[in-house]
Amino acid sequence: MYFLSGWPKRLRCPLESLEQPLHIQTDPQRAFFAVLSPSQLSIWYSRPSVLIVSYKELSKPASQFGPYKQVEWRPDSTMIAVSTANGYILFFDIPSSRDKYLYEPVYPKGSPHVKGTPRYKEEQCAPSLNLEMKKVLDLQASITSLKSMLEDLLVATADGLLHLIHWDGMTNGRKAINLSTVPFSVDLQSSRGSFLGFEDIHIRDMEYCATLDGFAAVFNDGRVGFITPISSRFTAEQLRGVWAQDVFDGTCVAVNNKYRLMAFGCANGSVQVYTIDNSTGAMQLSHKLELTPKQYPDIWNKTGPVKLMRWSPDNCVVMVTWECGGLSLWSVFGAQLICTLGGDFAYRSDGTKKDPLKISSMSWGSEGYHLWVIDGNCSLNAGCDIDTKNEAHQLGILQFQFIKSALTANTCMSNQEQVLLQGEDRLYLNCGDATQAQNPRSASAHSDHKPIRERGPFLEGNLDSQGLSTLLGHRHWHVVQIHSTYLESNWPIRFSAIDKLGQNVAVVGKFGFAHYSLLTKKWKLFGNITQEQNMIVTGGIAWWNDFIVLACYNLSDRQEELRIYLRTSNLDNAFAHVTKVQAETLLLSVFRDIVILFREDCSICLYSIERQPDGPNPTASIQVLQEVSMSRYIPHPFLVVSVTLTSVRTETGISLKMPQQACEAESIMLNLAGQLIMVQRDRSGPQIREKDSSPNQRKLLPFCAPVVLAQSVENVWTTCRANKQKRHLLEALWLSCGGSGMKVWLPLFPRDHRKPHSFLSRRIMLPFHINIYPLAVLFEDALVLGAVNDTVLYDCLYAHSSARQHLEVLFPFCIVERTSQIYLHHILRQLLVRNLGEQALLLAHSCATLPYFPHVLELMLHEVLEEEATSREPIPDPLLPTVAKFITEFPLFLQTVVHCARKTEYALWNYLFAAVGNPKDLFEECLMAQDLDTAASYLIILQNMEVPAVSRQHATLLFNTALEQGKWDLCRHMIRFLKAIGSGESETPPPTPTTQEPSSTGGFEFFRHRSISLSQSAENLPANKFNLQKTLSMPSGPSGKRWSKDSDCAENMYIDMMLWRHARRLLEEIRLKDLGCFAAQLGFELIGWLCKERARAARVEDFVIALKRLHKDFLWPFPVIPACSVNSPFKNGKYKTAVGEQLLKSQSADSFLNVEMDTGVSSAPQSHSWLSTINSSQREMDTVSSHGPHMQDAFLSPLLNKGDECSIGSATDLTETSSIVDGDWTMVDENISTLSLTQSELEHISLELASKGPHKSQVQLRYLLHIFMEAGCLDWCIIIGLILRESSIINQVFIIMQSSDADGEIWQNIKTGLHAVDRWASTDCPGYKPFLNVIKPQLQKLSEISEEQVQPEAFQPVNPCKVTEQASPRAEESRSLTCHSTSPQSDSGSSSVSRHEEDMSGAEEEDPLQDGSYDCTVS
């Protein structure tokens, strides 16, 4: 509503002799303000704030009159009355010296400002005024209150008299009224009242209320009352008084004319706001304004009595100050907006307390943009700063600046979804970038659903609202500076309006108007300044499509008019459509194609508005539809706060049969001084069928008698859009009720078009509290938008003591923040309380697509739980079971409950789960629904509520399921969880796992995580790694799985058993890819386990099935025989030597045949240089990695593919890879130029390339090959060799078989398997035949050797370095094979594979080590 902006300003006075001010009062037009000092009266101009004239009393009369006390202006600002301490009233005339000005603006040469505009001097120059004392009146008793009442001055004196004085200083023969003769009663119906029984009773403070026709008074004994004349004459016999029964400590009073409220300040620091009951005339308490101990625990009861209260010029807010200092701002019905007794206003940045600002007098400036305040602290110590340079006094007058909502002046803004704030020279908009807003939201926010807004027959595209992201996009305002040319001659801005899409704004100042486009960033002003200065906008301004609709008074014709201007044409009356209106328009609003005016004679007029496309500039025409007189119901036209046309009506049955009528103008909503009155169309008479009537006749139905819907209403929001999916929200009426929060008048629909229950009301009023002041409602999105004051301290900039008086030190800098709040959970809860669960379900299902709907359910559950579980008294009808049952209707039930429990203290869990069900059952439901992350959260609850055995049982279930589904992150958490239970740390729950896997983009993480058995303890681990705090998230990868050595061996064994069981299953089901991921992610020590399982699970039963399964898992194509194989140079299984040697060096040739297979010895020279490079790079890496763990991160970045493929060898040193690969490529380039291949050879090579699988699969297969080779599972090595079709692998296995005393059983298995593959290849896959033919001689040779062999010894894995030397040495293979050394120093660099962006389903393999040498590093 109103918000503080920036720092306050302090006035400087050019006169040296000016005394410290004690009273300030603006004139009725708020163009001037009078400042009173003990013997001096000054008049200032308000904008700019300059001193015009000062009157200093001479010393002799000053001693006779006594010091000045109060000042009051005549309503036409031509006189001032001043009361003095000795009971005198001094009347001053303010003659204006015509055409004489004290200050004039000076413009630079060539500026466009024209001085020849009409009334230029009046608007922009401070006039020259004089002060002449006209008359002195002696009332012979000290004056307690001085107030202007219509054409008279009302003066109360300490002797209990009330004087009515004419402004010329004459009493007109009227006697003073003695208060003791005025009868007082509780209401005006009593036949006679009692008199004030005491002699010495008098009025301490009073204020006249024009709309109540009487004055509110505070007596010196603390009682408060209201005095009104029974007839028109103001004499003692005709006056009657009414008491407020419960107030005995009144201190001051302020009256709100628009809302007919009387605010009485009390000695206890609270403000009691009363209204008059229309029927009885009694004083009724409306509401209280008081600080709560919750918000202000240290000051709420230490403020002292209320000192002053002032309502703003638009009567929307009241400013309250106390004896002990401080300011607070409240809306009409008690919503607190600002208070300076807490936060940055009360405390410095170092935490010390400031002295609160003590205020001795205050007054609002024009339109409420300023508040003038006299600093009481400053007037006490007269030694205020004097600036020696310009000899100007630092006055104790401060000017606070405010920004206010456009709703305060222009209530037709209430059907918009934007927040618009207006300052004195700028606008604040909450719509984001206007260019985004060009494409209005139809279904953008919820794209997976039908179009959100059904287009009605007359619903144009530009009636759609903005997207949710545009309205909520960011915290910052879009600030539009109002054009300075317009502002200079038309300050202050009175109204502002924004169109539906938030792309155009219009502002109205003193005369005329101007508008601005956010798309073009340009203002449009009147070209003819005379036209601008000839119109005064009276009833507000509104947008209709591309047109601006306004009601104004034409000064030259002296005629009230309704005008429509087109936005796109020039701003000129030639392009306007003008309609004459009978009486002055007070309020204006637009609903669809209807303009509604509320006029001074209390009548409402409806106009239809139509676009006329003819001619170059389209215009709009207006026709009168209907006039409704409301004078019987409205006592004073000024009391009507807003008038709105809506489609809301009470009988929803009709709208079900005829949904198109639900969008029509059905009722008028009037806010009459806070009472919401609904006048709806009378449909009881004969209905005109639509086809018989013209479109205009249909709207001419008469209106029924008015009905009061609600009290204490500040704002009303409604929309003219229709949406079948969200009828509850769009056909509702939203009310803001100040301190009592918000209300919604919600329609109730029978479900599935069934007949409505006879006892079911058609609508229901639901109240709910929100924490922000509402400024706009987003209907479909179930959000309230608002704004809130925030403060920034800058006192640290002025550390030295002389700057203590700086305003920047005394006050924080005020800014306005955008804010929003969800309200859906309040409404659902209110419906459930009233047993309207079916309606709540309908409403909730219509909003289930909102992104924050899960949060809504959680909030509702949490609030009900907190209230009921912490209640001291037993609750007869608890709501929690109903809420729990309601939430089960939604798929998010399990998450909602567990999230609510995790955010609630443990003490309330029993109460929660008694309502929602046993956590064990909920855990099982999660498992059945495959929602493992939610199940993990339930595990934490079970761990706190059940014995460890139960937690372990459920954790085991979850662990096995997570293993099965490959949720590795969750598996790591579960291992840790089981570990914690085993080691007796069951009281510290594990963290809830995140749904995202942290290593999903990483490569093979070889260097960082060595595989290690869980049952082994790592000596060098810090114990604090595994304090299982809720906040500690698990380090990704297996480094987090190394346990401190005091951990429980049985528990490790238990976990290991589960891991072994899972690995065995994967191997039995031939899921090698899953096995690799499993080992890599969970740090499973694969090699050691495979060694043990070599003769059991790790044995290949059926080579053919295994081969087929690997082809499928790794997406590896089966080989095919080329059509040209008859002429192929490969048909004899031998290469030509020249081609062979060249191809060996080439990266493009697949290495799957070898001529000198029998030798098994390397002859190509590149191999040695390659190996030496690897060895040197290994040494380099070891030295680097010895510098400490923090340096290792440098080697953990994923390696990009340089060239076609990277191999295991190339990744041993990430720093040198690129140069090696580049070198290799240059070598290929040199050789390829001299290489000549026949057509058939090229075809064969391209065929071979096509029959290779993805690069990632190749890397993974080679890694698995390395693991199996280490573990001695030679049958698996053979299968991988077959898939890769690399004879060197088969060759290597055969060499191992020869060199070591291999197990005869394994050899027998390999031989049988290869024969089976051969048979299968002959029948089903002839593509394998050439390769099998190549390895056949080797197989025969080996089988001869093996038959001669004696009883074999236990198998030992050989040193792979020897293997590499014996292997075929071509460039690609030496890259693909791992140079693996068993020396512990080279561990960190030894076995490695290049990283690839998305290897192994987003989670990479582990680097295996041989049994016995582990180098555990925690990175």
Separation CA 618–CA 884 (nearest Å): 58
Predicted pLDDT at 509: 95
Q: What is the CA radius of gyration of the chain?
A: 44
Predicted pLDDT at 624: 93
Mean pLDDT across 430-456? 43
Helix (H) or strand (E) holding 1225: helix 1217-1234
Predicted pLDDT at 115: 58
Q: Is the pLDDT of residue 1038 over 50?
A: no
Q: Is the pLDDT of residue 278 over 90?
A: no
Separation CA 521–CA 10 (nearest Å): 34
Predicted pLDDT at 1181: 40
Mean pLDDT across 1278-1284? 90
Separation CA 1049–CA 292 (nearest Å): 59
Predicted pLDDT at 169: 66
Of 583 and 683, more confident: 583
Predicted pLDDT at 1348: 61
Mean pLDDT across 52-63? 91
DSSP sequence for 495-513: EEEE-TTSSEEEEE-SSS-
- Residues above pLDDT 70, as percent of the chain: 72
Are 131 and 178 in contact by the 8 Å Cβ rule? The answer is: no
* pLDDT single digits (tens) 1308-1360: 888 889 889 999 999 988 888 888 888 888 888 777 776 665 444 444 444 44
* pLDDT single digits (tens) 1132-1176: 444 433 333 333 333 333 333 333 333 333 333 333 333 333 344
Separation CA 239–CA 1218 (nearest Å): 103
How far is the CA of 670 from the CAs of 588, 644, 651, 1181, in angstroms? 12, 7, 19, 82
* pLDDT single digits (tens) 550-574: 999 999 999 999 999 999 999 999 9
Alpha-helical segments (H) within 1117-1165: 1137-1145
DSSP sequence for 426-485: EEEE----TTGGGS--SSSTTTTSS-SS---TT--GGGS---HHHHHS-S--EEEEPPHH
Lowest mean pLDDT among 107-116, 321-330, 948-957: 107-116
Are 174 and 164 in contact by the 8 Å Cβ rule? The answer is: yes
Amino acid at site 354: K
pLDDT band at residue 468 using 50, 70 and 90 as cut-offs: low
CA atoms within 13 A on the CB side of 256: 29
* pLDDT single digits (tens) 600-625: 999 999 999 999 887 777 889 999 99
Q: Is the pLDDT of residue 1417 over 90?
A: no
Query: CA geometry: angle at 1015 spanning 1014 and 1019, to 5°?
Result: 90
Q: Is the pLDDT of residue 741 over 60?
A: yes
Lowest mean pLDDT among 1-10, 315-324, 716-725: 716-725
pLDDT band at residue 476 using 50, 70 and 90 as cut-offs: confident
Q: Which residues contact 159 (CB under 8 A, 6 or more apart)?
A: 141, 202
Q: Is the pLDDT of residue 1126 over 70?
A: no
Predicted pLDDT at 648: 85
Predicted pLDDT at 414: 77
Predicted pLDDT at 649: 81
Mean pLDDT across 238-267? 93
- Residues above pLDDT 90, as percent of the chain: 45
Predicted pLDDT at 980: 85
Residues making up the chain, counted from first to last:
1419
pLDDT band at residue 69 using 50, 70 and 90 as cut-offs: very high
As a whole number, the mean pLDDT across the chain is 77
Predicted pLDDT at 173: 65
Q: Is the pLDDT of residue 430 over 50?
A: yes
Predicted pLDDT at 1239: 77
Q: Is the pLDDT of residue 1409 over 80?
A: no
Predicted pLDDT at 1161: 36
Predicted pLDDT at 707: 92
Separation CA 185–CA 166 (nearest Å): 30
DSSP conformational letter for 1289: H
Q: Is the pLDDT of residue 1399 over 90?
A: no
DSSP conformational letter for 292: -
Q: Is the pLDDT of residue 458 over 80?
A: no
This prediction has a pTM of 0.78
Q: Is the pLDDT of residue 588 over 50?
A: yes
Separation CA 537–CA 1174 (nearest Å): 87
| Residues forming a β-bridge with 584 | none
Q: Highest mean pLDDT range out of 449-453, 458-462, 1313-1317? A: 1313-1317
Q: Highest mean pLDDT range out of 347-361, 393-407, 597-611, 1248-1262? A: 597-611
* pLDDT single digits (tens) 886-923: 999 999 999 999 999 999 999 999 999 999 999 999 99
pLDDT band at residue 480 using 50, 70 and 90 as cut-offs: very high
Are 1053 and 1099 in contact by the 8 Å Cβ rule? The answer is: no
Q: Is the pLDDT of residue 712 over 90?
A: yes
Q: Which residues of 1014-1051 are buried (b: 16+ CB within 10 A; e: fewer)?
A: bbbbbeebeeeebebeeebbbbbbbbbbbbbeebeeeb
Predicted pLDDT at 79: 93
The dihedrals phi and psi of 420, each to the nearest 5 degrees, come to -130, 120
Are 337 and 327 in contact by the 8 Å Cβ rule? The answer is: no
Mean pLDDT across 215-240? 85
Mean pLDDT across 175-201? 77
Tokens linked to 349: 């940045």
Predicted pLDDT at 663: 56
Give CB contacts under 8 A, 24+ apart, made by 1297-1301: 1297/1342, 1297/1346, 1298/1342, 1298/1345, 1299/1358, 1300/1355, 1300/1356, 1300/1358, 1301/1349, 1301/1352, 1301/1353, 1301/1354, 1301/1355
Q: Which residues contact 332 (CB under 8 A, 6 or more apart)?
A: 256, 259, 261, 315, 316, 317, 318, 674, 714, 738
Mean pLDDT across 1297-1311? 78
Q: Is the pLDDT of residue 1051 over 50?
A: yes
Predicted pLDDT at 1264: 92
Predicted pLDDT at 179: 87
pLDDT band at residue 803 using 50, 70 and 90 as cut-offs: low
